[in-house]
Structure 1
Amino acid sequence: MATSYILTGSYASESEPGIKLWEFEKNNGKLIELTNIVGIERPSFLAVHPNGTSFVATSEVGNGELVSYWIHPTTKKMMEINRQSSNGDHPAHVTIDETGNWLLSVTYSGATINVHPLLADGAIGDLAFSIKHEGSGPNKERQDAAHPHSIIQVPGKNLFLVSDLGTDTITTYKLDADKGELTLRYIVQTEAGAGPRHLSFHPTMPFVYSVNELNSTLMVYKISHEGQLEFIQLLPLVPDSYEGENTSAEIAVSSDGSFVYASNRGHDSIASFAVQANGTLENLGLAGSGGEGPRHFGIMPENDWLIVTNENSHTLTVLKMGQTGTPCAVENIIQTTAPVCIKVIK
């Protein structure tokens, strides 16, 4: 039976199994827990190394840590390699560059963007570079200060986009691949109070799809060779008739570039969009996330399954994709403590 391997992070305590490795059966959508790791507090976000056998987790607490792990290729046992300070409170996102040489992270409460080298054995080296964001936004409760929420590489380039929920900005940085230093290239301002959180790239066309957490919208940008963003389209992620609270969380493009998906916490749904020839999106509708608080989700490489981490209901939900590109059925629900991130190991 065809299988894939999946990692999940969570808001589990240090004494609980916070990171889990799963086997996924592609034929029937079954998830089987293989092993887990304890000893890390709130291991929320994960980044898998290009080698597929090591990864880094953020310990999303005050004075947080970045922790590297190794997965044995045959036994699938996980072992901690080392830890480094996150250089700021509440590290919310981490990414490993395409070369596997650099680890880039952001701290939500510390407002820092940090670069660490990754050593040959997978260990995280000493801090190479850091820069701090300043500013605020109109939402006094959530935008009291800068809150960088993600740092994501532009595919094939030494360029990285930082979405800052606190300042309503998406910033383009260029990475010096020799020194690990970041240079500011561009800053684009979103709608006031939007709260940009995560973004995803089209695999073949120069378009970026960004999810705004606070006003539950999706923005489409065209991106230049130098990493400059040009606004193209704004779309709502929940119906006008919905009167409850909602914060949008994750966004992803299918590997064939045909569809874009985004998650809604509160409305507890997955929004689906079809990508048009000019990069803009057509709304295909909403499907239930199969749980409460869908903070993150992952699309399987063949685009036939979508797995959701429902933080508030403590569930992983396996959704079968329909012929039209939208989730059409809940095939499996697994109980696990406060899952908040899912990563497919290629």
Structure 2
Amino acid sequence: MNKLFISLSILLLPAVVMAQKKDKLATPKVYDLLIGGYTNPDGNVGISVYRFYAETGRTSFLSEVKTASPTFICVSPDRKFVYSVNAIPDGSVSAFSFDYNTGLLKFINKQPSVGRNPAHITIDKEAKNVIVSNYGNGTLSVLPINKDGSLAPATQTIIGEGTSINPQRQAGPHIHSAIFSPDEKHVLYADLGTDKISIAKYKAGKVPALTPEDVAVEKVKPGSGPRIFDFSPDGRFLYLINEMGATVNCYSYEKGKIKFIDSVGLASPGFTGSSSAADVHLTPDGRFLYATNRGTANELVVYSVDQATGKLTNVIRYPTGKEPRNFVIDPSGNFLMLASQLSDSVQIYKIDKLTGILIPINSMISIPTPTVLKLVSAE
């Protein structure tokens, strides 16, 4: 009997191992939803954490931590730390420890962002550095991360240069965001003030970490105001949303080089109001792209993506709350969560994966002036 048991165990072992691997690759069902935004004495105090249940789309409040105007945040790959910009004139960056089981955030330290009014922050996969985009005076700063998760002072600051055609908004550089290439060998950053995408080589362990590429700049149509990016899941295409022009540009991407393919407008035909594009994301399968447009448009626009060419075709547009900003799509591709800054709310939609169409569900978070959302697995 013992021999039979041992033999069966040996035969079943590969199946057990495969099951364990599948479980590790399974999409989480429970998340922490982190919400940041502009702070004020009568409302938002900093970063709030909600539990998000991916089977139902329901949420529940967990915790909050005080910090000044965390309008953009990022989370370390191991989920143990959260970093936020402090979008104030004397810009800074804050570090927090994070318990994803309870949703509890604890302040660790703060460093100058070496710029004014920082608008964006991102972290590399090795958690070596955060890169901060300072909108106010157009600088890009690299801040190393210490072993305890705290931030060290900036080791590199790139100063943007130039102007563009809009004297009110483009009299100088305004770096709005930066994104790592899929292999993290490059960083691309968008300068709204100069209508440029800049490309730099990235080496996490070196100082300075960023060095300009041979062809370091890609210009966009004057007056477009490039704002923020997203890569297609396979890394072949890069999508840029232009705030002032309210357009989405599509580029091919390969080894630190981009090539313009096409551009589509966000506003509906005949629209005569004001537009101010804000955010762009693709679904996990890369079949659909979503983009937000503020101003008097206040819309979330859906496009289908040609998988061969990367080109976009409009599917449908949805009215939203006032000032739709950042949004997130959960890793399963089933839900989209949208922060409407001036409506003081986060709306949750169910995604039809076949059509890209959104279905609002009866689950809304009321929270003052939200501008950024991040989903973190709580499992």
TM-score range, shorter chain: over 0.9
Q: 1:33 is matched by which residue type in structure 2?
A: F
2:94 is aligned to 67
Q: Is the Cα–Cα contact under 8 Å of residues 124 and 184 in structure 2 kept in the other structure?
A: no
* 2:48 pairs with 1:17: no
Alignment partners' CA distance in 1, 2:361 and 2:227? 27
Q: Secondary structure at the match of 1:43?
A: coil
Q: Secondary structure at the match of 2:131?
A: strand
Shift of 1:14: 6.9
Report Cα offsets for 1:247-305 as digits up to 9, x if no partner: 0000011111111111011311111111112211221121223x111111001111111
2:265 is aligned to 236
Shift of 1:44: 0.6
Q: Is the Cα–Cα contact under 8 Å of residues 117 and 180 in structure 1 kept in the other structure?
A: no
Stretches (4+) displaced over 6 A: none
Matches within 5 A, 1:107-256: 107-181=134-208, 182-185=210-213, 186-225=216-255, 227-256=256-285
1:315 to 345, 366, 373: 345
Q: Is the Cα–Cα contact under 8 Å of residues 252 and 262 in structure 1 kept in the other structure?
A: yes
* 2:58 pairs with 1:27: no
Shift of 1:77: 1.6
Shift of 1:205: 4.4
Shift of 1:326: 2.3
Q: 1:98 is matched by which residue type in structure 2?
A: K
- Point out where structure 2 has 5 or more consecutive residues left out of the alignment: 1-27
Alignment partners' CA distance in 1, 2:173 and 2:100? 40
The structure richer in helix per residue is: 2
Alignment partners' CA distance in 2, 1:312 and 1:220? 29
2:17 is aligned to none
Greater displacement, 152-161 / 320-329: 320-329
Computed over aligned residues only, the root mean square deviation of the Cα atoms, in angstroms, reads: 1.5
Choose 1 or 2 for highest CA Rg.
2
* 2:319 pairs with 1:288: yes
Q: 1:293 is matched by which residue type in structure 2?
A: E
2:131 is aligned to 104
TM-score between the two structures when normalised by the length of structure 1: 0.96
Shift of 1:330: 4.2
TM-score between the two structures when normalised by the length of structure 2: 0.88
Of all paired residues, the percent bearing the same amino acid is: 29
2:4 is aligned to none
Report Cα offsets for 1:121-162 as digits up to 9, x if no partner: 110012111110011111111112100000110111221110
Q: Is the Cα–Cα contact under 8 Å of residues 116 and 180 in structure 1 kept in the other structure?
A: no
Alignment partners' CA distance in 2, 1:248 and 1:94? 19
Q: Secondary structure at the match of 1:312?
A: helix
Report Cα offsets for 1:160-195 as digits up to 9, x if no partner: 110110000111111232224211112000001000
Q: Secondary structure at the match of 2:72?
A: strand
2:34 is aligned to 7
Alignment partners' CA distance in 2, 1:50 and 1:164? 27
Q: Secondary structure at the match of 1:120?
A: coil
